[in-house]
Every structure is written in C-alpha cells, then in structure tokens.
Structure 1
C-alpha cells in the first residue's frame, strides 16, 4: 500500500505542505501551468510510493481533458483538491472513493 503524500501546484501552494513534512512535490509556476502541469501530474501519479496527491482545485482547469479524467477517477493514488468551491460534499466524495465507505452515511 502506498504511504506517501505528494503535492502538485505553484511554489506558494506547495511550500506549506513542505514545511509540514511532505517530501514529494512538484512545483509548477502559475505562468507555466498550461505547459507543464500535465507532465508534473502524470509523473506524480506514476510514482508507486504515492498514495494521496494534493492539488489546488483551480489547477484542475489547467489539465488536459484526458489527464483530468484519469486523476479524477484514480483510486490509488487518490486525488484530494483544496480550495475553490468544492465544499464538504466534494471532500466527502473524495474520502469515500479513497477508503471505499461513506463515514457520514446515515442509517
């Protein structure tokens, strides 16, 4: 089972995670996202040590259609997005996809 958390995004986005101890990251400056983000995401998702990939929600719009589809449906590693307007329903769906059960399910 994959153990590492990786973060992909702008240097400003990844810095906080790096300070918190995340060792795997890919910095893609804002002005280069359209050219370099697909490659950075594909490399991160191909890393067998990575179990969770964290990205900013707005960065998904910079991914090509194929890469975006692949990462949004990936089970391992699982994509967790932060920011934007995803709300608790988005995070709830991500957790459910990652562990296979809905922890908030009502009887």
Structure 2
C-alpha cells in the first residue's frame, strides 16, 4: 500500500506543496496556530494513509508538549521539519536516523569506504 505525503502549516507554506501535487494539506493560519495547530497535527497522526508529514520547523513551538512529543516520537508518519535555518543538513540527518534507525551517513562507514578505495 502506498502512502501519501501530508503538509501542515500556513497557507503560504503549504501552497508550494499543493502545486507539487501533495493532496493532504492541513492549513492553519499564522494567527490561529496556537489554537488550531495541535488539532491539525493530531488529524495527520491519525490518518493511516500518511507516511510522511512535513511541517515548518518554527511551527513546533506552537504545539503543546504532548503533541510535540508525539511528533518527535512518530515513526509512521515520519515528521520532517524544514526551514528554521540553523539545523540544516544535520537536522535532516537526525530525522532520517530517527525514522529508519540507522545513520546512513555514519562517519565510520565513510572512513572504511575510503580505506577500501585506497587499497584498490
């Protein structure tokens, strides 16, 4: 069974995803995030058709503690946060590691691969 991508956030954030073909969208206006973002995230968590949920990193601050913990612990759907600047590639790396359980970019693997190539 294939799963879908969902996007949660302000209409300005979700529009690009909709144009790219994402059909599951939870729009929450910026001035309503403190009141409505928890419900939108819980709806996505409960949707069995969603495999990946995308949010803006800054929106995590609007979530209640319980919902934020659910997002951080969720494997299916896997929540991916983008934006926010500082976390960059290392933040995405941590999210992938949490989702699949291994670090695909483990530095030890890179070193052993370099040693193998040098020996050839």
Q: How many residues align?
A: 107
Aligned counterpart, 2:71 = 71
Report matched runs for 1:43-62 at 5 Å: 43-62=43-62
1:30 Cα offset (Å): 0.2
TM-score normalised over the length of structure 1: 0.95
Please tell me whether residue 12 in structure 1 is matched to residue 12 in structure 2: yes
Q: CA separation in 2, counterparts of 1:101 and 1:9?
A: 29
Indicate conservation of the 8 Å contact 1:7/1:55, yes or no: yes
Is the contact made by 1:8 and 1:55 (CA closer than 8 Å) also made in structure 2?
A: yes
Deviations 1:66-103 (A, max 9, x none): 10011111111111000012221110011112222211
The alpha-carbon deviation at position 2 of structure 1 amounts to 5.6
Gap runs ≥5 in structure 1:
none
Higher relative contact order (CA 8 A, sep 6+): 1
Instruction: Show structure 2 runs of 5+ residues with no match.
Output: 109-120
The match for 1:27 is 27
> Residue 97 of structure 1 aligns with which residue?
98
Compute the TM-score of the two structures, normalised by the length of structure 2. Answer: 0.85
Q: Is the 8 A contact 1:28 1:37 kept in 2?
A: yes
Distance 1:104 1:88, change over 3 A: same
Which of the two has higher C-alpha Rg? 2
The SS at the match of 1:70 is helix
Structure 2 CA distance, aligned partners of 1:86 and 1:104? Answer: 16
Q: Against the structure 1 CA distance between its residues 65 and 2, is the aligned structure 2 distance closer, same or farther, given a 3 Å change threshold? A: farther
